[in-house]
Amino acid sequence: MKQHEKTLSEKLIHKGRVITVYQEEVLLPNGKVSTRDIVRHKGACAILATVEDKIIMIKQYRKALDKVIYEIPAGGIEEGEDIALCAKRELNEETGYEAENLQYLAGMVTSPGFCDEVIHVYLAENVKKVIEKAPCDEDEFIEVYLIQQSHVEEMIRSGEIIDAKTICAYSMYKAMRS
């Protein structure tokens, strides 16, 4: 069976600052018609940055979860922005650190059942504090932590770290090291 759904119609439901939501009527491979709610997102970069044997983590409140969580630094790609430059910019803005070299690890989709967001994950090793930190977005309130790798693993196992991009990036990093 051919795995494809043809869009028959598309209706804009919501256009926001970060996402756009469409409702699409689609033709299924079996000839039936169905409806899909699709979230369009501009994409993001996430950076797993190391300082010696520590991982740079941020802690911030996430309204969708109504709680404060630990994450690796990440942020949206600006229109026309090179993804590596986005990663460098976000690392500086959110943590006050910079990396001369970034290694691209992978692109990953966050929720392919309803969203087209791709997060590009980078590794930044041996980073250093910047002389001039770029300001965070005015609606971001971030705390920066350097956490021992062994403690990051425990935080993942215990459920203290629940962010998928962080868990995936850390898993990729550990796999590279073994």
Catalytic residues: 138
User: Do the beta carbons of residue 72 and residue 60 sit within 8 Å?
Assistant: no
Q: DSSP letter string over 48-109? A: EEEETTEEEEEEEEETTTTEEEEE--EEEPPTT--HHHHHHHHHHHHHSEE-S-EEEEEEEE
C-alpha span between 128 and 51 (Å, rounded): 8
User: Do the beta carbons of residue 86 and residue 77 sit within 8 Å?
Assistant: yes
C-alpha span between 168 and 49 (Å, rounded): 14
Q: Exposure of 99 by Cβ count < 10 A (0-12 exposed, 13-18 middle, 19+ buried)?
A: buried
Q: Which of 101, 86, 82 is nearest to 134 (CA)?
A: 86
